[in-house]
Structure formats: C-alpha cells, structure tokens
Amino acid sequence: MKIVLQRVSEASVIVNGQKTADIKKGLLVLVGIEDADTQEDIDWLAGKIIKMRIFGDENDVMNCSVQDIDGEIIVVSQFTLHASTKKGNRPSYIKASKPEFAIPMYENFVKALEKEFDKKIQTGIFGADMKVSLLNDGPVTILIDSKNRE
C-alpha cells in the first residue's frame, strides 16, 4: 500500500455535488492499493498513521500525533499512487488493484484506522470522481510505502 499523508487545517470531499467528508484540523490520507497488499500492510500503516508525530506541541515542535490533538481524518482511495511513468508520457496503472480486491482492502484499512484511532474516519467514495479540497498545514506531506518501510 502506498499513502500520501497530509497535515491539514481543513479538508473535504465532494462527490456529485454532495459533501461526503469534511474535517478541520487533522489528516488527509490518500491510499493506493496493489494486489500484493495484505492485512499486515493495513495494520502496520494504521498504527503508523495514528502515531505519526507531525503536529506542533506547546513549543511548536512536531511532537504530537493526530490522536494527541484530538484531530480528524479523511481517507480517500487513489489508484494513481501506483502509476508507472517509466515508459512514455502516459502513466500505466497496471500495478493498481482492481475493485474486486481493492474495495475490501480499502474498507479494512478504514476499519483498522478507526480501531487504532477509536474515532470515526470520514471517507470519499471508492472509485467515484471526487473533488478533494484541502488546506495543507505547513505544508506537511509524507509519503509512506508499506513495502518499503523506511
């Protein structure tokens, strides 16, 4: 699994003119799923995301997690995170999972985050044309690949 983790002052998702998610301070998590992903990837990422200390403490040092600040989270599926740009100028998405595999993995990922966070996670709609708005705070943007745990 690949994720883009963004610290936000606010974020929202609109699908077909309807707002499906809306948060203030917290995290926007874009997630891409591939066929090699397992429950182990989900569990590792969920723990990492919830405990990631990227929010300022009383001294404005990045020492607090989203849990510590009582923040919120939006998760948005994004198959384009698995784009291959090796050949030509048109990305290939062959590594991205098909919906039959990706949807249950995405749903399990959201559930795992909710369990770690002990709070409801807001989402976009898998496979929909989504309009994602965010005010990146910092900016702080972190890329995490569960297959390359650096």
**Catalytic residue annotation:** 80
Strands 26-32 and 55-56: unpaired
- At 130, give phi and psi (nearest 5°): -110, 145
Question: Comparing C-alpha atoms, which of 75, 73, 80, 82 is closest to residue 1?
Answer: 82
Residue 110 to residues 1, 15, 35, 48, 138, Cα–Cα distance (Å):
13, 19, 18, 14, 25
